[in-house]
């Protein structure tokens, strides 16, 4: 009986493979579901993300990652890639405000 159930489900695994590129594409941003996103992952996939996804991911960054973004928000900062864009967006969302008075 168990073998029959397994053989019945076996063809459905081929259908699941079409979902894997999406999951794999996001693995750089969120390694596991219980881990926060990484700043480098968001910056790498910045052009692939919708504005809503970007806002959601920025709001789930760790304090350490937000502090890095705060350093990139300074006018004299020399951050590369999409980090200045992410810092500007995080500032617009008010995520960097707690770091303004810390220095």
The pLDDT assigned to 41 comes to: 86
The pLDDT assigned to 18 comes to: 47
Whether the predicted pLDDT of 11 surpasses 60? no
* Cβ proximity of 83 and 69 under 8 Å: yes
Which of the 8 DSSP states describes residue 80?
-
Structural domain count, the chain: 1
Q: What is the pLDDT of residues 22-78, one digit of tens each?
A: 444 555 565 556 677 888 888 888 999 999 999 999 999 999 999 999 998 888 888
End-to-end CA distance of the chain: 67
Q: In terms of residues, how long is the chain?
A: 103
Domain that holds residue 18: 2-99
pTM: 0.64
């Amino acid at each position: 009986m168990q073998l029959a159930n397994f053989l019945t489900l076996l063809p459905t695994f081929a259908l699941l493979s079409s979902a894997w590129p999406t999951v794999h594409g996001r693995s750089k941003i969120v390694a596991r579901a219980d881990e926060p996103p990484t700043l480098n992952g968001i910056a790498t996939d910045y052009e692939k993300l919708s504005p809503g996804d970007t806002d959601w991911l920025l709001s789930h960054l760790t304090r350490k990652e937000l502090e890095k973004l705060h350093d990139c928000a300074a006018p004299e900062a020399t951050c590369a890639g999409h980090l200045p864009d992410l810092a500007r967006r995080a500032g617009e969302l008010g995520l960097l405000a707690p770091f303004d008075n810390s220095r």
